[in-house]
Amino acid sequence: MSPDMRTRLGRVELDNPVLAASGCAGSGRELAQFFDIARIGAVVTKSVMLEPHAGRPAPRMAETPSGMVSAIGLQGPGVEVFLQRDLPWLMSRGGRAVVSVAGSGVAEYQELARRISGAEGVEMVEINLSCPNPAAQGRHFADDAAEAARIVHAVRSNTRSDIPVFAKLAPDVPDLTALAGACVEAHADGLSMINSVRGMAIDPRTLRPAVAGGMGGVSGPAIRPIAVGCVYEVHTAFPDVPIIGMGGVRTGADALEFLAAGASAVAVGSVNFSDPSACVRILRELEEALAERGVSRVAEVVGAAHRNGGAAPNR
């Protein structure tokens, strides 16, 4: 019997726990060439800003071992086009949208929340806190738990109450658990983690940074153990807060790792670049893995690594 894959993220229940991660699914249209977008739990949209945004200069990415470094700089059409074009398209295909928002200050996040909350077809809002804070020399909002909390509060209080608001955290912050706690206190309904990890590649031919601007974000399977560790630690501290886990999910077994660490859903990021049908494949592999171990509801394995006490025995 195939297991019950439904998963609960705050007030919302998704058909299954496999999502496409923000910035790694385009507008949904591109991936829809490879599979039926309605089959996955949800599509997290590229982070939307108020205005059109041209992003960072190229080169924007470089391959690294089992991963990549990228710096896209939130290129996007702005919220108006998003609401007129991308969101209705997703709805028309039966896709469920988690709308990721990015801003340059509390006011922008607040305004975005208002605009998005009024639109039809928004299942959830995800707050991208890894945006440069112009008031703090470009450090990310996530670097300052108090600032992050202000943004979460602003978005939460300007979003319809039936739409869960998740805060998306980066791993390289002064104190991840404290940041998570601040977001939860500011009434985030859940947490998404992790965003990419700061890093840099240098082109061995030119000896110059391979990505314009130098630093970028490392993503892909390489960061998976870092991501799983973050989810595990935050779930330990806040066992009742739902988590969308991500960072290098490539297979059903990887998804299972995140669920066991405490995530209620997973998001597939960079692996969509290398395998455009990854989301449905991972969903199938996860279903099979659960069926094999006789699990009837995916919810049963959420947090399993915390319950089974200690490490696996040596083989």
Partner 1 sequence: MSDFGPVQTRSPVLTVRRVDAYYAITIVAPQVAERFRSGQFISVAVGGDQSSMLLRRPFAIHDVKPDYGGTVEFLFSVRGQGTAWLAERRSRDLLDVVGPLGRPFPLPRDPVNCVLAGGGSGSAVLFPLAQSLRRRGCRVDFVIGAASADRVFSAITARRAAATATFTTDDGSFGLRGRLTDALGQVIEDARSDVVYACGPMPMLREVTAIAGVYGIPVQVSVEEAMACGTGICMSCVIPVVGEDGITRMARSCVDGPVFRGERVRFDDIGTIPFDALGAPGWKAQSGEGGVADREAG
Ligand X SMILES: Cc1cc2nc3c(=O)[nH]c(=O)nc-3n(C[C@H](O)[C@H](O)[C@H](O)COP(=O)(O)OP(=O)(O)OC[C@H]3O[C@@H](n4cnc5c(N)ncnc54)[C@H](O)[C@@H]3O)c2cc1C
Ligand Y SMILES: Cc1cc2nc3c(=O)[nH]c(=O)nc-3n(C[C@H](O)[C@H](O)[C@H](O)COP(=O)(O)O)c2cc1C
Is residue 23 near partner 1 by the rule CB under 8 A? yes
Closest-CA residue to 169 (of 202, 128, 210): 128
Cα gap 90→94, rounded to integer Å? 6
230 part of the active site: no
When the beta carbons of 155 and 278 are compared against ligand X, the nearer one is: 278
Cα gap 165→170, rounded to integer Å? 17
Task: Yes or no: say if 101 and 47 are a contact pair by the CB < 8 Å rule.
Answer: yes
Closest-CA residue to 64 (of 249, 209, 225, 276): 209
Q: Which two tokens stand for residue 5?
A: 């894959």
Is residue 121 near partner 1 by the rule CB under 8 A? no
x/- contact string, 241-280, with ligand Y (CB under 6 A)? -----xxxx------------------xxxx---------
Q: Kindly list the residues in this chain that would bind ligand X in the complex (CB under 6 A).
A: 63, 315
Residue 125: beta bridge partners?
99, 165
- CA within 13 Å, CB half, 116: 37
Is residue 269 near a copy of itself by the rule CB under 8 A? no
Q: Which does 111 bind (CB under 5 to 8 A by kind): a copy of itself, ligand Y, ligand X, none?
A: none
Task: Yes or no: say if 50 and 113 are a contact pair by the CB < 8 Å rule.
Answer: no
Is residue 27 near ligand Y by the rule CB under 6 A? no
Q: Which two tokens stand for residue 213?
A: 């601007």
Q: Which does 172 bind (CB under 5 to 8 A by kind): a copy of itself, ligand Y, partner 1, none?
A: a copy of itself
For 70, phi then psi, to 5°, come to: -140, 155
Is residue 152 near a copy of itself by the rule CB under 8 A? no
Q: Which two tokens stand for residue 81?
A: 């086009």
Q: Which two tokens stand for residue 12?
A: 């919302």
x/- contact string, 202-221, with a copy of itself (CB under 8 A)? xxxxxxxxxxxxxxx-x-xx
x/- contact string, 186-225, with partner 1 (CB under 8 A)? --------------------------x-------xx----
With 0-12 / 13-18 / 19 or more C-beta atoms within 10 angstroms meaning exposed / middle / buried, residue 232 is buried
Of 10, 26, 29, 64, the residue at the interface with a copy of itself (CB under 8 A) is 64
Is residue 24 near partner 1 by the rule CB under 8 A? yes
Cα gap 103→146, rounded to integer Å? 16
When the beta carbons of 3 and 216 are compared against ligand Y, the nearer one is: 216
For residue 298, the SS3 value is helix
Q: How far is CA 179 from CA 37, 146, 172, 244, in A?
A: 33, 8, 11, 16
Task: Yes or no: say if 245 and 227 are a contact pair by the CB < 8 Å rule.
Answer: yes
When the beta carbons of 30 and 63 are compared against ligand X, the nearer one is: 63
Total chain residues near partner 1 (CB under 8 A): 56
Cα gap 27→82, rounded to integer Å? 9
For residue 151, the SS3 value is helix
Cβ at position 187, least distance to ligand Y in Å: 20
Task: Please give the residue ranges that form the binding site for a copy of itself (CB under 8 A).
Answer: 57-59, 64-67, 69, 171-172, 174-175, 197-216, 218, 220-229, 232-233, 248, 250, 253, 256-257, 260-261, 289, 301, 304-305, 308-314
Task: Please give the residue ranges that form the binding site for ligand Y (CB under 6 A).
Answer: 21-24, 46-47, 70, 72, 74, 100, 128, 168, 195-196, 219-220, 223, 246-249, 268-271
Task: Please give the residue ranges that form the binding site for partner 1 (CB under 8 A).
Answer: 23-27, 30-36, 46, 51-68, 70, 72, 75-78, 80-81, 84-85, 212, 220-221, 270-277, 311, 313-315
Catalytic positions: 131
